[in-house]
Amino acid sequence: MSAHLVKCDNCGRSFIGDTSAPTLPCPNCGFDTVLAKRQEEENRAKEEAVKRIFDLVTLEKIRAYLTESDYEYLACKLRDKPQYVQAVTSLKFKDPRVALMLSVTAGSLGADRFYEGKRGLAVLKASFGVFTLGLWYVADWFLIVNSVKQTNYKKIAKLLTFLC
């Protein structure tokens, strides 16, 4: 028997009761104090679990915009700070697939690098790419996806630096 002074959540009066018992009715009003506290703790735990799942599902939406290692690092970092998940997922990201399509179709004009936001590199590519005999354009077909994903991660890192 574990006797403790317990305060009734319903009537506010204190009484001595066995807090290890499955139920602990108040002698004044009959309110089951221990059961109510356990249900409240269970409900709080369920709400936290649902919120964690929601945060992970929300975070999963940006997986395609990051490299796998960057995503894993970010997910691990945001597990400790769930309040930032909404801020991170509200950012506008560049789609690596769009960048790849632009690289294949209009890479000689630097469209892929303009889309990524690297204007200087785009101008250089459009101006001097001819001198590389098309190798720059072809190389970008393989490089642009990771480059866009790294640009997206840098945007997140900048936001987290600002928030923390």
Q: Whole-number mean pLDDT of the chain?
A: 86
pLDDT of residue 1: 56
State pLDDT tens for residues 42-54. Answer: 888 888 877 777 7
Q: Is the pLDDT of residue 6 over 90?
A: no
pLDDT of residue 61: 86
Question: What is the reported pTM?
Answer: 0.68
Compute the distance between CA of residue 72 and CA of residue 10 in angstroms, rounded to an integer.
Answer: 46
3-state secondary structure 36-59: HHHHHHHHHHHHHHHHHHHHHHHH
**Which structure tokens are listed for 33?**
């104090």
Percent of the chain clearing pLDDT 70 (strictly above): 97
Burial of 33 (0-12, 13-18, 19+ CB in 10 A): buried
State pLDDT tens for residues 12-57. Answer: 888 887 767 777 788 888 888 777 777 888 888 888 877 777 777 8
Identify whether the C-beta of residue 43 lies closer than 8 Å to the C-beta of residue 71: no
Compute the distance between CA of residue 58 and CA of residue 74 in angstroms, rounded to an integer.
Answer: 13
Size of the chain, expressed as the number of residues it contains: 164
The tokens 């506290």 sit on which residue? Answer: 37
State pLDDT tens for residues 96-139. Answer: 999 999 999 999 999 999 999 999 999 999 999 888 888 999 99
